[in-house]
Structure 1
Amino acid sequence: MAYFSDVRPLERTGGSVERALRDAFHLPAIGASVAEARRRVLARLTEWDIGTVVRDDAQLVVSELFTNAVRHTDSERVDCELRVTGARLRLAVTDQGAGSAGRVSGAASKAGDAEGENGRGLLLVSALAEAWGVRPGAGGRGHTVWAELGFGPSAP
Protein backbone atom coordinates (compact mmCIF):
# COMPACT_ATOMS: atom_id res chain seq x y z
CA MET A 1 0.00 0.00 0.00
CA ALA A 2 1.26 3.43 -0.87
CA TYR A 3 0.11 6.61 0.78
CA PHE A 4 1.32 10.03 1.77
CA SER A 5 0.92 11.08 5.38
CA ASP A 6 2.74 14.40 5.64
CA VAL A 7 -0.33 16.63 5.81
CA ARG A 8 -1.86 18.60 8.61
CA PRO A 9 -5.19 17.40 10.02
CA LEU A 10 -8.26 18.72 8.20
CA GLU A 11 -9.44 20.72 11.18
CA ARG A 12 -6.36 22.94 10.79
CA THR A 13 -6.56 23.38 7.02
CA GLY A 14 -10.08 24.71 6.65
CA GLY A 15 -11.64 21.38 5.66
CA SER A 16 -9.36 20.49 2.76
CA VAL A 17 -6.05 18.77 2.24
CA GLU A 18 -3.08 20.77 0.98
CA ARG A 19 -1.46 17.79 -0.72
CA ALA A 20 -3.01 14.84 -2.53
CA LEU A 21 -3.30 11.64 -0.52
CA ARG A 22 -3.44 8.28 -2.29
CA ASP A 23 -3.76 4.65 -1.33
CA ALA A 24 -4.39 1.58 -3.45
CA PHE A 25 -4.91 -2.09 -2.66
CA HIS A 26 -6.33 -5.23 -4.24
CA LEU A 27 -8.21 -8.14 -2.76
CA PRO A 28 -9.48 -11.49 -4.04
CA ALA A 29 -12.87 -11.29 -5.75
CA ILE A 30 -14.71 -13.14 -2.97
CA GLY A 31 -17.49 -12.08 -0.63
CA ALA A 32 -15.20 -11.82 2.41
CA SER A 33 -13.19 -9.12 0.62
CA VAL A 34 -16.08 -6.66 0.88
CA ALA A 35 -15.70 -6.39 4.67
CA GLU A 36 -11.91 -6.20 4.35
CA ALA A 37 -12.22 -3.37 1.82
CA ARG A 38 -14.48 -1.45 4.24
CA ARG A 39 -11.95 -1.97 7.05
CA ARG A 40 -9.06 -0.75 4.91
CA VAL A 41 -10.95 2.32 3.76
CA LEU A 42 -11.94 3.17 7.34
CA ALA A 43 -8.38 2.74 8.60
CA ARG A 44 -6.84 4.90 5.88
CA LEU A 45 -9.42 7.68 6.09
CA THR A 46 -9.10 7.71 9.88
CA GLU A 47 -5.32 7.99 9.51
CA TRP A 48 -5.82 10.89 7.10
CA ASP A 49 -8.14 12.67 9.59
CA ILE A 50 -11.15 12.54 7.27
CA GLY A 51 -14.38 13.29 9.14
CA THR A 52 -16.77 10.63 10.41
CA VAL A 53 -19.60 11.34 7.98
CA VAL A 54 -17.33 11.07 4.93
CA ARG A 55 -15.69 7.93 6.35
CA ASP A 56 -19.11 6.33 6.85
CA ASP A 57 -20.28 7.31 3.35
CA ALA A 58 -17.01 6.08 1.83
CA GLN A 59 -17.40 2.70 3.52
CA LEU A 60 -20.91 2.33 2.10
CA VAL A 61 -19.78 3.33 -1.38
CA VAL A 62 -16.80 0.96 -1.37
CA SER A 63 -18.98 -1.82 -0.01
CA GLU A 64 -21.48 -1.42 -2.84
CA LEU A 65 -18.84 -1.14 -5.56
CA PHE A 66 -16.85 -4.13 -4.26
CA THR A 67 -20.02 -6.19 -3.91
CA ASN A 68 -20.95 -5.45 -7.52
CA ALA A 69 -17.47 -6.38 -8.74
CA VAL A 70 -17.54 -9.68 -6.83
CA ARG A 71 -21.13 -10.65 -7.69
CA HIS A 72 -21.43 -9.46 -11.29
CA THR A 73 -18.04 -10.15 -12.90
CA ASP A 74 -15.74 -13.10 -13.36
CA SER A 75 -12.77 -11.31 -11.76
CA GLU A 76 -10.07 -13.03 -9.75
CA ARG A 77 -9.24 -9.83 -7.88
CA VAL A 78 -10.69 -6.37 -7.32
CA ASP A 79 -8.57 -3.23 -7.07
CA CYS A 80 -9.44 -0.18 -5.00
CA GLU A 81 -7.93 3.29 -5.05
CA LEU A 82 -8.60 6.18 -2.67
CA ARG A 83 -7.44 9.66 -3.51
CA VAL A 84 -7.99 12.87 -1.57
CA THR A 85 -7.34 16.13 -3.38
CA GLY A 86 -8.43 19.40 -1.83
CA ALA A 87 -11.90 18.78 -0.37
CA ARG A 88 -12.76 15.73 -2.52
CA LEU A 89 -12.37 12.02 -1.92
CA ARG A 90 -12.34 9.88 -5.05
CA LEU A 91 -12.95 6.14 -4.69
CA ALA A 92 -12.35 3.83 -7.64
CA VAL A 93 -13.02 0.09 -7.75
CA THR A 94 -11.73 -1.88 -10.72
CA ASP A 95 -12.70 -5.42 -11.65
CA GLN A 96 -10.94 -7.62 -14.21
CA GLY A 97 -13.82 -9.49 -15.68
CA ALA A 98 -16.70 -9.37 -18.03
CA GLY A 99 -20.02 -8.40 -16.54
CA SER A 100 -22.05 -5.38 -15.53
CA ALA A 101 -20.52 -4.20 -12.23
CA GLY A 102 -21.15 -0.56 -13.01
CA ARG A 103 -24.58 -0.60 -14.59
CA VAL A 104 -27.91 0.02 -12.99
CA SER A 105 -30.14 -2.82 -14.10
CA GLY A 106 -33.41 -2.26 -15.90
CA ALA A 107 -35.24 -3.54 -12.82
CA ALA A 108 -33.83 -0.75 -10.70
CA SER A 109 -33.18 2.21 -12.94
CA LYS A 110 -32.48 5.72 -11.70
CA ALA A 111 -36.22 6.06 -11.22
CA GLY A 112 -35.75 3.34 -8.64
CA ASP A 113 -37.45 0.09 -7.81
CA ALA A 114 -37.69 -0.17 -4.05
CA GLU A 115 -38.61 -3.86 -4.26
CA GLY A 116 -35.89 -4.96 -6.71
CA GLU A 117 -32.59 -6.21 -5.31
CA ASN A 118 -30.37 -5.50 -8.32
CA GLY A 119 -29.32 -1.91 -8.89
CA ARG A 120 -30.14 -0.48 -5.47
CA GLY A 121 -26.47 -0.33 -4.51
CA LEU A 122 -25.70 2.05 -7.35
CA LEU A 123 -28.73 4.11 -6.43
CA LEU A 124 -27.18 4.43 -2.96
CA VAL A 125 -23.84 5.40 -4.53
CA SER A 126 -25.65 8.01 -6.62
CA ALA A 127 -27.34 9.43 -3.51
CA LEU A 128 -24.10 9.65 -1.49
CA ALA A 129 -21.67 10.78 -4.16
CA GLU A 130 -21.38 14.22 -5.72
CA ALA A 131 -20.44 12.43 -8.95
CA TRP A 132 -19.90 8.84 -10.08
CA GLY A 133 -19.33 6.96 -13.27
CA VAL A 134 -17.98 3.93 -15.08
CA ARG A 135 -15.14 3.58 -17.53
CA PRO A 136 -14.04 0.48 -19.41
CA GLY A 137 -10.94 -1.33 -18.24
CA ALA A 138 -7.68 -1.53 -20.13
CA GLY A 139 -7.76 -3.92 -23.06
CA GLY A 140 -11.55 -3.91 -23.15
CA ARG A 141 -11.90 -6.16 -20.10
CA GLY A 142 -13.26 -5.12 -16.76
CA HIS A 143 -14.61 -1.81 -15.48
CA THR A 144 -13.60 0.95 -13.13
CA VAL A 145 -16.49 2.39 -11.18
CA TRP A 146 -15.61 5.62 -9.40
CA ALA A 147 -17.37 7.96 -7.02
CA GLU A 148 -16.43 11.33 -5.56
CA LEU A 149 -17.45 12.53 -2.12
CA GLY A 150 -16.98 16.11 -1.02
CA PHE A 151 -16.11 17.31 2.46
CA GLY A 152 -15.25 20.54 4.19
CA PRO A 153 -17.16 23.80 4.57
CA SER A 154 -18.93 23.60 1.18
CA ALA A 155 -19.85 19.91 1.35
CA PRO A 156 -23.47 18.95 2.01
Structure 2
Amino acid sequence: MTRAHLTGWGACEDTCDAAALVVSELVTNAIVHTASRRIHCELHELCDDAGERVRIAVRDEGCIPGDARAAGRIAPEEEHGRGLLLVAAVSTAWGAQETGPGLLVWAELPRDAQELAIPGPVPDAATAPGWTW
Protein backbone atom coordinates (compact mmCIF):
# COMPACT_ATOMS: atom_id res chain seq x y z
CA MET A 1 0.00 0.00 0.00
CA THR A 2 2.87 2.37 0.80
CA ARG A 3 4.45 1.87 -2.61
CA ALA A 4 1.11 2.31 -4.38
CA HIS A 5 0.39 5.62 -2.63
CA LEU A 6 3.87 7.02 -3.18
CA THR A 7 3.98 5.92 -6.81
CA GLY A 8 0.66 7.70 -7.30
CA TRP A 9 2.22 10.84 -5.82
CA GLY A 10 5.15 10.60 -8.24
CA ALA A 11 7.78 9.63 -5.68
CA CYS A 12 10.88 7.96 -7.08
CA GLU A 13 11.51 4.23 -6.72
CA ASP A 14 14.28 4.74 -4.13
CA THR A 15 11.94 6.79 -1.96
CA CYS A 16 9.26 4.11 -2.32
CA ASP A 17 11.76 1.44 -1.21
CA ALA A 18 12.94 3.49 1.78
CA ALA A 19 9.37 4.35 2.77
CA ALA A 20 8.31 0.69 2.62
CA LEU A 21 11.23 -0.15 4.95
CA VAL A 22 10.31 2.64 7.38
CA VAL A 23 6.62 1.66 7.46
CA SER A 24 7.56 -1.98 8.01
CA GLU A 25 9.91 -1.16 10.90
CA LEU A 26 7.58 1.30 12.66
CA VAL A 27 4.48 -0.87 12.32
CA THR A 28 6.40 -3.95 13.46
CA ASN A 29 7.60 -2.09 16.57
CA ALA A 30 4.04 -1.04 17.34
CA ILE A 31 2.78 -4.62 16.94
CA VAL A 32 5.57 -6.27 18.93
CA HIS A 33 6.04 -3.74 21.73
CA THR A 34 2.58 -2.39 22.51
CA ALA A 35 -0.80 -3.58 23.68
CA SER A 36 -2.48 -1.88 20.73
CA ARG A 37 -5.62 -3.34 19.23
CA ARG A 38 -5.37 -0.74 16.49
CA ILE A 39 -2.30 0.84 14.92
CA HIS A 40 -2.71 3.90 12.72
CA CYS A 41 -0.30 4.62 9.84
CA GLU A 42 -0.39 7.85 7.84
CA LEU A 43 1.48 9.02 4.75
CA HIS A 44 1.65 12.74 3.98
CA GLU A 45 3.14 14.84 1.20
CA LEU A 46 4.94 17.91 2.52
CA CYS A 47 6.19 20.86 0.51
CA ASP A 48 7.73 23.87 2.20
CA ASP A 49 11.07 25.69 2.53
CA ALA A 50 12.69 22.36 3.50
CA GLY A 51 11.70 20.87 0.12
CA GLU A 52 9.32 18.17 -1.03
CA ARG A 53 9.12 15.29 1.42
CA VAL A 54 7.10 12.29 2.41
CA ARG A 55 6.17 12.01 6.08
CA ILE A 56 5.32 8.64 7.59
CA ALA A 57 3.62 8.54 10.99
CA VAL A 58 2.68 5.45 13.00
CA ARG A 59 0.56 5.80 16.15
CA ASP A 60 -0.02 3.03 18.69
CA GLU A 61 -2.25 2.74 21.77
CA GLY A 62 0.44 2.28 24.42
CA CYS A 63 2.93 -0.13 25.92
CA ILE A 64 2.23 -3.52 27.35
CA PRO A 65 2.15 -3.01 31.15
CA GLY A 66 5.44 -4.07 32.70
CA ASP A 67 7.08 -4.69 29.32
CA ALA A 68 9.09 -1.49 28.87
CA ARG A 69 12.39 -2.21 27.16
CA ALA A 70 15.28 0.02 28.06
CA ALA A 71 17.44 1.29 25.26
CA GLY A 72 21.00 0.09 25.41
CA ARG A 73 23.82 -1.50 23.54
CA ILE A 74 22.80 -4.21 21.09
CA ALA A 75 25.09 -7.21 20.95
CA PRO A 76 26.33 -8.00 17.41
CA GLU A 77 24.74 -11.45 17.52
CA GLU A 78 21.27 -10.11 18.43
CA GLU A 79 18.61 -10.69 15.75
CA HIS A 80 16.39 -7.78 16.87
CA GLY A 81 16.81 -4.21 18.03
CA ARG A 82 18.06 -2.37 14.95
CA GLY A 83 14.81 -1.20 13.39
CA LEU A 84 15.01 2.40 14.59
CA LEU A 85 18.66 2.54 13.56
CA LEU A 86 17.55 1.60 10.04
CA VAL A 87 14.84 4.26 10.15
CA ALA A 88 17.45 6.84 11.20
CA ALA A 89 19.81 5.73 8.43
CA VAL A 90 17.31 6.18 5.57
CA SER A 91 15.37 9.20 6.88
CA THR A 92 16.26 12.87 6.72
CA ALA A 93 14.48 13.39 10.05
CA TRP A 94 12.55 11.26 12.52
CA GLY A 95 11.26 11.35 16.05
CA ALA A 96 8.51 10.42 18.46
CA GLN A 97 5.98 12.07 20.70
CA GLU A 98 3.61 10.75 23.30
CA THR A 99 -0.04 10.91 22.30
CA GLY A 100 -2.06 10.15 25.41
CA PRO A 101 -1.38 6.56 26.35
CA GLY A 102 0.33 5.84 23.04
CA LEU A 103 3.26 6.93 20.96
CA LEU A 104 3.44 8.58 17.53
CA VAL A 105 6.68 7.78 15.69
CA TRP A 106 7.38 9.66 12.47
CA ALA A 107 10.01 9.82 9.75
CA GLU A 108 10.54 12.04 6.74
CA LEU A 109 12.06 11.13 3.36
CA PRO A 110 12.73 13.34 0.34
CA ARG A 111 10.52 12.65 -2.70
CA ASP A 112 13.47 12.98 -5.09
CA ALA A 113 16.14 10.26 -5.25
CA GLN A 114 18.87 12.89 -5.63
CA GLU A 115 18.05 14.11 -2.14
CA LEU A 116 18.02 10.69 -0.51
CA ALA A 117 20.84 10.38 1.98
CA ILE A 118 23.38 7.74 1.19
CA PRO A 119 23.53 5.87 4.47
CA GLY A 120 26.83 6.17 6.22
CA PRO A 121 27.76 4.20 9.28
CA VAL A 122 24.69 3.21 11.25
CA PRO A 123 24.88 4.78 14.73
CA ASP A 124 25.52 2.52 17.67
CA ALA A 125 22.41 1.78 19.72
CA ALA A 126 24.10 3.34 22.74
CA THR A 127 24.38 6.69 20.91
CA ALA A 128 20.92 6.61 19.31
CA PRO A 129 18.10 8.57 20.96
CA GLY A 130 16.90 6.92 24.16
CA TRP A 131 13.99 4.67 23.28
CA THR A 132 11.91 2.46 25.44
CA TRP A 133 9.55 0.06 23.76
The alignment's TM-score, normalised by the length of structure 1, stands at: 0.63
Structure 1: segments with no counterpart, 5+ residues: 1-39
Determine the C-alpha separation between the residues in 2 that align with 1:117 and 1:84.
33
Contact kept, 8 Å, 2:40 with 2:60, in 1: the verdict is yes
Match of 2:25 in 1: 64
CA shift for structure 1 position 118: 3.3
SS in 2 for 1:68: helix
CA shift for structure 1 position 105: 2.8
CA deviations on 1:95-138 (whole Å, 9 max, x unpaired) are: 01225xxx883143xxxx4322332011100100011111001x
CA shift for structure 1 position 153: 7.2
Task: Give the alignment's Cα RMSD to 1 decimal.
Answer: 1.9
The answer on 1:155 being equivalent to 2:115 is yes
Determine the C-alpha separation between the residues in 2 that align with 1:61 and 1:82.
11
Match of 1:35 in 2: none
The answer on 1:144 being equivalent to 2:92 is no
Contact kept, 8 Å, 1:84 with 1:90, in 2: the verdict is yes
Residue number among 66, 72, 78 corresponding to 2:39 in the alignment: 78
SS in 1 for 2:39: strand
Contact kept, 8 Å, 1:107 with 1:119, in 2: the verdict is no
More helix by proportion, 1 or 2?
1
Paired-residue identity, %: 46
Task: Give the aligned length.
Answer: 108
SS in 2 for 1:106: coil
Determine the C-alpha separation between the residues in 2 that align with 1:104 and 1:52.
35
5 Å-filtered alignment, 1:110-125, equals 113-125=75-87
Contact kept, 8 Å, 1:126 with 1:132, in 2: the verdict is yes
Letter in 2 for 1:71: V
SS in 2 for 1:77: coil
